Amino acid sequence: VAPVLAVVGRPNVGKSTLVNRIIGRREAVVEDVPGVTRDRVSYEAEWSGVDFTLVDTGGWEVDAKGIDRMVADQAERAVDVADAVLFVVDATVGATATDEAVVKMLRRKGKPVILVANKVDGPSTEADAAALWSLGFGQPWPVSSLHGRGTGDLLDAVLDEL
Ligand code: GDP
Ligand code: MG
């Protein structure tokens, strides 16, 4: 059975764009509207001859009263079935309270976490990625899911965790 990698993070950080980039075709639904991915979706992927399953997450309703709880519940189900987690953060925004809620859940689960500092489209925003060391998951991997920058190094790091 191929190892399972869950892609988690708050809405609009670029999880589905990253999944599209890794699977190499535009299949996961990407929208500008936060929370557009309705359900968890699994994809077969491969890197350096290693097969794995990617689980995109989303589907949370935007509920002003309970969004932190909804994000945590959704991410939790994906993490429970995963061998490792790609935790995606928008480096251009920095760590938000919702990101911190995901951090707490991931600490409880104890699965290996690879921290993706997404939307680092060029060298001028590398410093935004470095700021995410503060999340406590080790090295933030600077990536542009949109353009593909840094995704090879990220996937090499992923294979080290599987
Ligand atoms: P999700 O809700 O986390 O799945 O986020 P999406 O993948 O739907 O992306 C949300 C928005 O961020 C879309 O407009 C994407 O085009 C944009 N986006 C995703 N990755 C990047 C990136 O690396 N750089 C930039 N500039 N925009 C990105
Ligand atoms: Mg999505």
How far, in whole angstroms, is CA 2 from its chain's centroid?
A: 19
Residues in the chain: 162
Average pLDDT, the chain: 86
pLDDT surpasses 60 at 39: no
- Report the nearest-CA residue for atom 9 of ligand 1: 14
Complex confidence, ipTM: 0.99
Ligand whose nearest atom lies closest to the CA of 118: 1
Specify the pairing of strand 113-118 against strand 50-56.
unpaired
pLDDT in tens, 43-53: 889 999 999 99
Query: What is the pTM for the complete model shown?
Result: 0.89
- Residue 31 Cβ inside 6 Å of ligand 1? The answer reads yes
- Residue 20 Cβ inside 6 Å of ligand 1? The answer reads no
DSSP lists the bridge partners of residue 84 as: 5
Q: How far apart are CA 36 and CA 17, in angstroms?
A: 12
First vs last C-alpha separation in the chain = 12
Lookup result for tokens 């936060």: 34
Burial of 39 (0-12, 13-18, 19+ CB in 10 A): exposed
pLDDT in tens, 67-122: 666 656 767 888 998 999 999 999 999 999 888 988 988 999 999 999 999 999 99
Instruction: Return the structure tokens found at 18.
Output: 């990253």
Quickly state the pLDDT bin for 65 (edges 50, 70, 90): low
In ligand 1, which atom is closest to the CA atom of 121?
24
- Residue 11 Cβ inside 6 Å of ligand 1? The answer reads yes
Domains and CATH numbers, the chain: 4-161 (3.40.50.300)
